[in-house]
Copies of this chain bind each other. A is one copy, B any other.
Amino acid sequence: MATPRSRVRDDESSSQRRTRPVATVAVPFPAVVARPIIAHVRPQIDCGRRPAKASLGDLLNVEADAFVEGHDLVCCELRFRHDDDVKWTSMPMRELGNDRWRAMMPIDRLGRYRFIVRASVDRFGTWRRDLRARINAGQDVAEEFLVGAQLIQDASRHAKANERRRLAEIAEMLRSSDAVASPRETTGDDASDAQHVVFSEWLGDAMSSLSGSSHHVSSETYFVWADPTKARFSTWYELFPRSAAPSPRRHGTFADVEARLDYVESMGFDVLYLPPIHPIGRSGRKGRDGAVTSGPDDPGSPWAIGSRDGGHTSIHPELGSLEDFRSLVRAAGARGIDVALDLAFQASPDHPWVSEHPGWFHQLPGGSIRYAENPPKRYEDIYPLNFEGLEWRALWHELLEVVRFWIAQGVTVFRVDNPHTKPFEFWEWLLASVRAERPEIIFLAEAFTRPRVMEHLAKIGFTQSYTYFSWRSSKWEIETYVRELTQTDMADYFRPNFWPNTPDILTSELQHGVRATFMARLVLAATLSASYGIYGPTFELQETAPRAEGSEEYLHSEKYEIRTWDVKDPSNLSGFISMVNAIRREHAALQFNDRLVLHPVDNDHLVAFSKTRAGVDHDDIVVVIVNVDYVYPQSGWVALDLQQLGIDPSLPYVMHDLLTDAHYVWNGSRNFVRLDPDGLPCHIFALEQPVEQWKKKP
């Protein structure tokens, strides 16, 4: 039993409450009760502080959580615009389940896009869904029709005249007594006229277009930078121009490189990257195999940039003239090949900058300039630049001018040497400055360093990045790394470029490699990553000798001497490389990384993965299986994830080996494979369902 006191106390407080002004509340009321919550929008880099990356022709997957309390339905739309657009474009997002929504944003111009996700409560849709449930349960819906009439009338205020008239008629109809006959079915012939109208598509569309103008909630604004297609899909070949001469020991020229374009084109490469082409310093010049002292005929490292012949905007005299270089760029361009230059922002002690701008370097107290070093190691042929010295603005500006100079010569792709040893702020500024003028320029970051540093360089604007692929040899290493690159948010900003070798990296695996090793590493690079490259002709000629045991340097490295290559040698892998690159061009699945799936094989030497691209009448599905044991044949059962591939597991399908043109009929998920390194160490399959099956698809 309640005592009188209790009730009196309650009444007192209750009356006090009613007279107490609302202003006693310390925390202010929200301005409106704007109900949907939008969260976890992707792509989103560093909480939206940096743009995600996309490329021309992409359909960018934009997703968000959008939800509201209770059981009300939500509408969700993507709104986006390019910097050049005046108006926003809207497109509906589709619910994926679990309050997740998605839209595919078309990227059709270079430069910056912005997007927001917008959500609102779908009051009419909710009412209609509930009405259907009530009618189907045989409930009296007379009052519900009045509720609906009110919703329609409210919305009609925002409608154009014709539509407003029609909506008013419908609202009136719902208010009339005829409307309320309540058969158990909402659609059949016995449904009332009012029900036919209420559940009509016209009314649904009209109401949802009108509701857009009422309360909605918007996400933050996020940005996307659209690069050219080659930013996503590119095939790189690196060569030293000075070794391009056909005859032994002559210094190669741009004309020699031009003569080699047919060879590069025949292999299917579309970027030709040249190490620095500038005058090479004499002071501290390294000898062969990196010797501390050099002989008079040693050409020195191309990265020791600058001599009395000039610096970063000059050309090493023995390579030819600027006009020769332009001719090479033009000839390459005619073949669809971009010539990529190396941006190595450092100087030989003989660089003109050293005397003209000593303040651009690290000056020691005694007045001398600090060599490049990683104590106690010293690189006497190179002075690093001081990006934080008193004259940093002039230096940065000069470096921007260097980039502008080469862009003016037709260069659109740059490989950036060791960006991780220069300030992030510098790159962010430089890349933004270049892109403000020329959004199509591509920068590949050559940063082999700690993961967070490599990631950050990609975030601040590098188009592509070298990776750890070179050292990922075992199945576990390859799978773990590829998962990290493609299934974390790295996929939104870090575009991997896989290199089996570089002039600095002859891996232990390649040193001990056989022909199958080179074939398999090439196929892994070319199919795991939409962008990859090789340093040739060392790669296709399968150079394996290191400078010393335990070193990753090549013996007789082109970094320090001129080599001559016999690309006509019958052991050359160029034919195989041509095939692989042709497959890349023909199969869109290999030109993206976003739908890479790793498939289990019951053999730790066999790596299996697929890539998929949606097509007009069927998906392009490429399945790659590689034997990473380069000595022994390996066999096992591949368990394809048919659900992820969208394949009906009850029907057989054809695996078309694109390297051998063989066709295999596979059944279900598990199928047997055997790969012998004496033959081909890999399959590159196109998964082709029989035509009958495609017809069955809706």
Query: Residues of A with Cβ closer than 8 Å to B?
Result: 1-3, 5-7, 9-11, 13-14, 17, 20, 22, 25-27, 29-30, 33-35, 37, 39, 46-48, 65, 67, 69-71, 98-99, 129-131, 133-134, 136-137, 139, 143, 146-147, 149-150, 309-310, 313-318, 320-323, 352, 364-366, 368, 374-376, 387-388, 392-394, 396-398, 400-401, 405, 420-426, 428-429, 432-433, 436-437, 450-453, 456
Contacts and interface: CB of A to CB of B under 8 A. Distances in A.
Contacts of A322: 2-3, 5-6, 9-10
A27 B436 contact: yes
A394 B29 CA distance: 11
Contacts of A352: 14
A39 B365 contact: no
Contact of A425 (B34, B136, B420): B34
Contacts of A98: 450-452
A605 to B, nearest CB: 25
A10 B420 contact: no
A675 B365 CA distance: 75
Contacts of A420: 69-70
A453 B146 CA distance: 31
Contacts of A365: 143, 146-147, 149-150
B35 A424 contact: yes
Given A2-B321, A5-B321, A150-B365, 15 more contacts: A2-B316, A2-B322, A3-B322, A5-B322, A5-B323, A20-B401, A30-B428, A35-B423, A47-B47, A98-B451, A136-B376, A143-B365, A143-B366, A143-B368, A146-B365
A531 B9 CA distance: 35
A364 B317 CA distance: 89
Nearest to A37: B456
5 contacts: A5-B322, A10-B322, A33-B387, A67-B450, A99-B450
Nearest to A364: B143
A487 to B, nearest CB: 15
Contacts of A323: 3, 5-6
Given A139-B376, A433-B26, A69 B2 contact: no
Contacts of A10: 310, 313-315, 322
Given A10-B314, A47-B47, A424-B37, A375 B437 contact: no
Contacts of A393: 22, 29
A27 B3 CA distance: 76
A198 B20 CA distance: 70
A111 to B, nearest CB: 14
Between A37, A98, A130, A147, the greatest number of chain B beta carbons within 10 A of the residue's beta carbon is seen for: A37
Contacts of A147: 364-365
Nearest to A322: B6
Contacts of A376: 133-134, 136-137, 139
A675 B422 CA distance: 61
Given A5-B322, A7-B310, A137-B376, A425 B317 contact: no
B29 A39 contact: no
Contact of A3 (B9, B67, B321): B321
Contacts of A433: 25-27
Given A10-B313, A10-B314, A450-B99, A69 B421 contact: yes
- Best-surrounded residue of A71, A131, A146 (most CB of chain B within 10 A): A71
Contacts of A11: 310
Contacts of A13: 313, 401, 405
Given A67-B453, A147-B364, A322-B10, A46 B39 contact: yes
A426 B30 CA distance: 8
Nearest to A220: B47
B137 A423 contact: no
A334 to B, nearest CB: 22
A439 to B, nearest CB: 13
B426 A33 contact: yes
Nearest to A26: B436
Q: Which 8 A-B pairs have the closest CB atoms?
A: A137-B376, A47-B47, A3-B321, A6-B322, A2-B317, A146-B365, A130-B375, A133-B375
Contacts of A314: 2, 6-7, 10
B388 A33 contact: yes
Contacts of A29: 393, 396, 429
Contacts of A14: 313, 352
Contacts of A421: 69-71
Contacts of A456: 37, 39, 67
A310 B13 CA distance: 12
Nearest to A394: B22
A69 to B, nearest CB: 5
A411 to B, nearest CB: 14
A599 to B, nearest CB: 22
Given A7-B314, A425-B33, A432 B27 contact: yes
Contacts of A149: 365
A589 B67 CA distance: 36
A265 to B, nearest CB: 26
A3 B48 CA distance: 50
A376 B149 CA distance: 20
A436 to B, nearest CB: 5
A437 B26 CA distance: 9
A316 B425 CA distance: 68
Contacts of A405: 13
Contacts of A35: 388, 423-425
